[in-house]
Amino acid sequence: MDFERVRRFAEIRREYGSGYINLNPIQRGGILSEAARRALLEFGDGYSVCDFCPPEEARLDAIRRPPIREFMERLAEFLGMDVARVTTRCRESKFIAFRMLAKPGEYVVVDSLAHYSTYLAAELAMLRVKEVAHQGPPEYRISPEAYLQRIEEVERETGKPPAVALLTHVDPHHGNLVDPKPIAKICHEHGVPLILNAAYTAGVMPVDGRSLDVDILAGSGHKSWAASAPTGILALRGELAERILARSAIKGEWSGRSFPKKELALLGCTVMGAPLATLMASFPHVVERVKGWEAEVEKARYLASQLERIEGTRILGVKPKMHTLLHVESEGFYRVSKTHKRRGFFLYEELRQRGIVGVQPGLTRHFKLNTYGLTWEEVKRVAEAFQEIARKYGLSVH
């Protein structure tokens, strides 16, 4: 291959680096800490964390230099769980739990606001999905009773409870926080383990699996732990840990080879380098930052109230907001887009001119943003930018 054709890849740069306020809902919790930035370079090379892989165990979670083993113990403790592993993505954590707890064709009960990857994880594990209804706009509530209904439906249909249930702790659409406890209670009364998808919560707000009574917790390092992609968290409680982390049982019929130390569903090792190093290096920062969660929610509520001052604009989901992810519905900006020569792109472009990015280009009627980790000054700049744009296009600001 001709070098000139590929030379440009060596020069890739991030266009929206520092200097912009990035409101992208999936990005706020994944901005690296300074310690993580140092760790990235330190452990950038390939299998950099494997220098001291203990031959007798030969598994990522057994490594003591760097202290991966201890990190996973502290991670489990921090989440109020018994055992933790790092996976390549939250979706892989969900797949692993589905794969190891259910047989092909069995049911998993899932809230209907789940991330798309929850559905795909179930599909890849060859499971059938029974969706828990939400209560529709504008709040999109998920109730424990709706879980009960679906569990009983599965029982009637198949003569046994679903293999597993999943709740999205904060959903990616409206940023609703759902209390897992009453749902866990119902699940457990029916003998159903509950997975909590904590991609938007663990790492930014306090999450204690034990007091929430969840059996499995799936998290996302790049979404909420100030870590590089791809990093997922799989934290487990009780006896389920053994089922989910079951060791490989395959044996070569010719060679006799077997791999009884390897955790099957993790395919042995997972994140063998840089992103794990960032997750570890950011951990002290994360342990501290979750204590400031209330202040983060305050900033989101402030922005919500300022956006709702704009004509025809409201925030969807349960209020008051309990998370920094906001779903904005704006009939006002939508109306502007209809006659603007840039159509829906005007909002994105106006914001960008003001140093603000992360609102999806083209969207005006429904868009999402996340204030997590912004300073008060930045939140105010964002609020003022939206209001300024509104006024510029003739929308009133109450």
Phi-psi region of 186 (alpha: psi -120 to 50; beta: other; left: phi over 0): alpha
Backbone φ and ψ for 283, nearest 5 degrees, come out as -60, -45
191 binds its own copies (CB under 8 A): no
In the bound complex, what is the minimum distance in angstroms from residue 23's beta carbon to its own copies?
11
Where do we find the tokens 């220098």?
51
Nearer to its own copies, 7 or 156 (CB): 7
Q: State in angstroms the smallest separation of the CB of 171 from its own copies.
A: 12
What is the rounded CA–CA span in Å between residue 379 and residue 18?
A: 16
The binding track of 314-333 with respect to its own copies, each residue x by CB under 8 A or -, is: --------------------
Kindly tell me which residue out of 84, 186, 278, 334 binds its own copies, with binding defined by CB under 8 A. Answer: 278
- Binding-site member from 65, 342, 343, 392 for its own copies (CB under 8 A): 65
Tell the smallest beta-carbon distance from residue 398 to its own copies (Å). Answer: 31
Report d(CA 264, CA 97) in Å as an integer.
12
Number of residues that bind its own copies (CB under 8 A): 116
260 binds its own copies (CB under 8 A): no
Tell me the window of 64-72, 160-168, 319-327, 379-387 that interacts with its own copies (CB under 8 A). Answer: 64-72
As a whole number of angstroms, the distance between CA 20 and CA 39 comes to: 24
Binding window for its own copies (CB under 8 A); candidates: 36-44, 162-170, 234-242, 322-330: 36-44
37, 44 contact by CB (below 8 A): no
Residues 333 to 352: which contact its own copies by CB under 8 A?
Answer: none
CA dihedral defined by 154, 160, 164, 165, rounded to 10 degrees? 30
Q: Which stretch binds its own copies (CB under 8 A): 234-242, 284-292, 313-321, 373-381?
A: 284-292
Q: Which of 76, 202, 240, 281 binds its own copies (CB under 8 A)?
A: 281
Residue 25 token pair: 């809902």
CB of 380 to its own copies, least distance (A): 23
Q: What are phi and psi of 186, to 5 degrees?
A: -60, -45
Q: Which of 11, 19, 156, 398: binder of its own copies (CB under 8 A)?
A: 11
Q: Give the binding range for its own copies (CB under 8 A) out of 28-36, 192-200, 210-218, 299-307.
A: 28-36
Q: CB–CB of 235/252 below 8 Å?
A: no
Nearer to its own copies, 32 or 184 (CB): 32
Q: How far is the CB of 391 from its own copies (least distance, A)?
A: 27
C-alpha 104: how far from chain center? 26
Q: Are 299 and 308 a contacting pair, CB within 8 Å?
A: no
The CA-based diameter of the chain, rounded to the nearest angstrom, is 77
Place of tokens 């209907």: 112
Is residue 121 helix, strand or coil? helix
CA distance 131 to 158: 16
- Minimum Å distance from CB 394 to its own copies? 27
Contacting its own copies within 109-148 (CB under 8 A): 112, 116-117, 119-124, 126, 129-133
Structure tokens given for 154: 């599965």
Among 165, 170, 199, 271, binds its own copies (CB under 8 A): 271
Minimum Å gap between C-beta 184 and its own copies is 21
- Centroid of chain to Cα 111: 15
